Chains A and B, each alone.
Chain A
Amino acid sequence: MINKNIFSKIIGWVIAIIFLTIILLPIIYVAATSLKIPLEIRTSGSLFPQGGITFENWVKAFRNVPLTKYLFNSTVVAISSTIITLLIAVPTIYTVVRFKTGGAVLPSLILGTYVMPPIVVTVPIFAIIKTLGLQDTLVGLILVHSMMNIPLAFWLLDSYIRNIPVELEHAAWVDGYSKFDTLLKIVYPLIKPGVLSTGVVCLIMSWNEFLFALILTYSDASKTFPIGISQYIGEHGMQFGEMSAAALAGIIPIYIVVFIFSKNLVEGLGRSGVKG
């Protein structure tokens, strides 16, 4: 029995290590590249720096492109759009699930927009944002990102709300609360882990979003971090070292967020049952 246990444990570890390597290898590569001497990057294909470590790429990355400004823009856009997404998605999904608002049409319509490739709507969205005079502003991008994430939030929150025993809400109505108060005082506290993990996912989606940011922003005032990264590909070729440094600088904040909420995220995405 003991042998069997050890054996299965070893298998488990091997699988875990294989997975971790697959997931972490690109990031390790990026981290290593950001510390290599620029010349080495072009000539050597080795994973780890051979010719010594330098912070030159990091310094240049921040000097050649206003990366700090872009990271700031990304932060503003990600946080604001996530808040707007949640503010709209939570009540919406609640009424759709509980009161069948929109019948069968609304939920499938919302999910349909999630399935559709975003490139399809770039032209109309650009036209709308331009009509509103919001092109090249953070507000414009925030609006587009929050709309973009609503189907995702909708889909993630659905099972949380379904898992709440409906009697809890009925009890609250009978106890004298309106439907909105019931959502606020009873439903929201129960789905809070789900709302948090949904928020983190939306944050990541917005942080990494490239297509809409590319067409809607064109000055440093509103460009976001993924657009910034693309700027290291210039007329004079690709600045791999600087790009790696910038990429890492952009990954770190979102990793910290995920790390802080990881307990919530795992708990939330894995299980979404609230027992009454």
Chain B
Amino acid sequence: MASVELRNVWKIYKGDVEAVKDVSWKCEDREFFSILGPSGCGKSSSLRMIAGLEEITEGQILFNDKVVNDLRPKERNIAMVFENWALYPNLNVYENIAFPLRARKMSKEVIDEKVKTAAKFLDLEPILKKNARHLSGGEMQRVSIGRAIVREPDVLIMDEPISHLDASLRARMREELKTQVSRLGVTTLYITHDQVESMAMADRIAVMNLGEIQQIGTPLNIYHHPSNEFVAGFIGEPPANFVDCAVIKDDGKFRVTCSAFQFILDDVWTKRFTAAPQQKVRLGVRPEDISISFTESSNCCGLEVDFVEIQGDRTIITLKVGDQLFLSEILGDVRPEIGQTIYVKFNQEHIHFFSQEDGKNIFFDAEMES
């Protein structure tokens, strides 16, 4: 078992492509740590450097507080589950799982015992003699996990391990993976572009974009207190809404106005804006933090309905906000007419204000304190 730490790690490819920029984080022993980000965000480069498959341009990678920069992959005692599973097509399931053990020159009996234990654990016993070419997606995935865990690695690295499975299997696999990994109690680095996977499985998430760490925190922390506009937009489905607003002090109260609506901020926000006055902000609000009503009441905004998407348990209503569209998610079956004006209120506990210049959450520290 081991902790994994990155200290100011850079990866610069030929032609000055900066894939990873000054990334630092620490994944504690036995933690399920997820690196989340869109494709090209540097998450794969990070993990390949951790695995030793790629050189580190600058910075340090530490396992258990020991620098491993110069160790070869086989000296790091890591195991990896690849996106395409990378099973050896020339070997059967048994030999695939036994492969890392054979590298360690273990005796036949020990190998047999370990492979059988892993196979039992992953329910692979009936297909041990099957060739790796002839497995279904789910089976391949389990075999690749078997191969990874059979030698009790210090760190288990999973690179998009279930993104190739179909949707229903993926949902089941999320649960299964999480259960298996927590039973093993191994330090796990889980790389994915799917925020649902990260949210569902990870103890902590590091959100990456354009080679930089955007935010590190627990799933709920990141969800409720995004550090910047990117994180707020990337986490959550449907994505959060953003609109440029002005904040105007008016009679001791703060009023948020944009071209399409205005509303008055509550006491918590008033306190925050008094402490750090801002005039131009970017309002961020999640679809589920918008409530609607067909009748006007105080401090609500009338918006025109652009589209209604019925999903059974909930309804997604698209609203016109100037030339932008806002998504709102309403529980239950609501059927406003398209073109009708409905009255919305934002749940002020969960709205955020981002800087118009750099997208940072202006009141991030204040949010975290409360």
Contacts and interface: CB of A to CB of B under 8 A. Distances in A.
Interface of A: 165, 167-168, 170-178, 181, 186, 189-190, 274-276
B82 A176 contact: no
B118 interface: no
B63 to A, nearest CB: 14
B99 interface: yes
B51 interface: yes
B103 A175 contact: yes
B89 A174 contact: no
Contacts of B84: 165, 167, 276
Contacts of A186: 88, 90
B74 A178 contact: yes
8 contacts: A165-B86, A167-B86, A174-B52, A174-B53, A176-B100, A186-B88, A276-B87, A276-B89
Contact of B53 (A173, A178, A190, A275): A173
Nearest to A178: B74
Interface string B102-144: 0110000000000000000000000000000100000000000
Interface in B147-192: 147, 151
B103 A177 contact: yes
Contacts of A172: 88, 99
Interface residues of B, number: 25
B82 A190 contact: no
Contacts of A274: 89
Nearest to B140: A276
Given A167-B86, A186-B90, A174 B104 contact: no
Contact of B100 (A167, A168, A175, A276): A175
B103 A167 contact: no
A153 B263 CA distance: 75
A177 B91 CA distance: 16
B73 interface: yes
B83 interface: yes
B100 A275 contact: no
A173 B89 CA distance: 16
B72 interface: yes
B78 interface: yes
Interface in B325-351: none
Contact of B80 (A174, A178, A189): A174
A186 B99 CA distance: 10
Given A167-B82, A174-B80, A175-B103, A190 B74 contact: no
Contacts of B85: 276
B73 A174 contact: yes
A190 B85 CA distance: 17
A275 B89 contact: yes
Contacts of B73: 170, 173-174
A178 B104 CA distance: 12
A170 B80 contact: yes
Which of B80, B86, B88, B151 has its CB near the most chain A CB atoms (within 10 A)?
A: B86
Contacts of A178: 74
B79 interface: yes
A74 B147 CA distance: 48
Given A167-B82, A176-B103, A190-B89, 11 more contacts: A165-B84, A167-B83, A170-B80, A171-B82, A173-B52, A173-B53, A174-B73, A174-B80, A186-B88, A276-B84, A276-B86
Nearest to A167: B86
Closest 7 interchain pairs by CB? A176-B103, A175-B100, A167-B86, A189-B90, A171-B86, A173-B73, A176-B74
